[in-house]
Amino acid sequence: MRVLREADYIIFNNSTIRQCGKNFMVSKSTVHKDMAERLPKINKTLFDMVQEVLKKNLSERHIRGGKATKEKYEGKVKKTA
């Protein structure tokens, strides 16, 4: 079942919704719906574990975005210099 495979992938790889969607070749909206609506009906324990990973990702999101922006502009400066 795709929902359970996605949940396992997120937990064991500490991945984001987007990374999971890319891995399973489905949209991030599909993964989100699977995790938010379908998984709790199938396996509440697994749902709780996925939620912990997703909460961690949410709290770190602004840091990852800042790093990506920094790397982008540092790369631009190095290329033009």
Q: What is the pLDDT along the chain (81 residues), one digit of tens a residue?
A: 999 999 999 999 999 999 999 999 999 999 999 999 999 999 999 999 999 999 998 888 777 778 878 888 888 655 555
Rounded distance between C-alpha atoms, residue 43 and residue 45, angstroms: 6
Domain boundaries, the chain: 2-80
Give pLDDT, residue 25.
97
Query: Do 17 and 28 contact (CB within 8 A), yes or no?
Result: yes
Rounded distance between C-alpha atoms, residue 6 and residue 34, angstroms: 8
Written as six digits, the tokens of 30 are 């599909």
